[in-house]
Structure 1
């Protein structure tokens, strides 16, 4: 069965997309730890980040590196934190999280933004790409 991320890639589930290439996708987390919390994925479904072949892994990180400055410009923060957890969805992904303190990386504290708030945040980030 396809992961929820593969279903987003296929267009079966809507997402607030930030950036996209033929191989990668960045979109807002719908249960973010902070405003602007973005997920970056390879479109190819591979469960574990370190099972990606070297080219796909390096490309994913390069793609995340291009997205992070746009998030930082759109969402005032001290820096963009990077997290790889990988237990909640069986599809390799990287979290880009705007941070002002270490508490912003706490995955137990989730915001519940409306769809309108997510859409506005995604548009704001896209303007800086």
Structure 2
């Protein structure tokens, strides 16, 4: 099943990519809760995260860990939170969210909007951390 994430993987839709390898991709969330909010996805389309094959599941979380460490170095935060939530895109994904207070990870919060320059700046900060 093709999703918006598949289109990002295939380069049909632009994204602010943080990290990528042959199996996984990390990019800034288009509707972030806070600056640096990043999505980590497997390139192989799988709807539910617990349906990912065991070895790929472990590798996905290892990849997410590497990205989270970059976020923590680049964005002022007390820690990086992790959430596996969302029903709107049927493609497994992990949210990595810089946290300074618990409410930073409240998905009921109004989503932020940044300019292209702000997204580029954040992407470069994290990518180069």
TM-score between both structures, scaled by the size of structure 2? 0.97
Deviant stretches of 4+, over 3 Å: none
Aligned equivalents of 2:115, 2:47: Cα separation in 1: 29
Contiguous gaps of at least 5 residues in structure 1 = none
Aligned equivalents of 1:86, 1:61: Cα separation in 2: 17
Paired residue for 1:122? Answer: 123
Paired residue for 2:107? Answer: 107
Aligned equivalents of 1:38, 1:22: Cα separation in 2: 18
SS at structure 2 position matched to 1:124: helix
Paired residue for 2:66? Answer: 66
Aligned equivalents of 1:108, 1:118: Cα separation in 2: 22
Aligned equivalents of 1:32, 1:71: Cα separation in 2: 14
**1:75-90 equivalences in 2 (<5 Å):** 75-90=75-90
Contiguous gaps of at least 5 residues in structure 2 = none
Paired residue for 1:40? Answer: 40
TM-score between both structures, scaled by the size of structure 1? 0.97
